[in-house]
Amino acid sequence: MQVDQIDREVLERYLETRNAVTKRVDRIVAVAHLLGLLRHCPDDSIEVSPSALSVVAYLVDQDICGIQEVWDDFLFPGDVESALSE
């Protein structure tokens, strides 16, 4: 679909939605990259605190849930399914 075919109000809501999730997405990507770098460390060379990992897991979970809420506020999947089935 071409952008010029989308209603201006929808485009504005899309930008608001995109901006609302960007920081969360960036943090998830940063954590994933950081964890990916661990493969370059020799086995058992870095001590990891279970409570620190739990904080990271909590942050990722909160960001993912927050992103889902933002998308649901943009268009709720049930409403879209109903509209498409009509």
pTM value is: 0.76
Averaged pLDDT, 34-42:
87
Dump pLDDT digits (tens) for 65-83: 999 999 998 888 899 899 9
Which has the closest alpha carbon to 10: 70, 69, 68, 75?
75
Residue with tokens 């952008």: 3
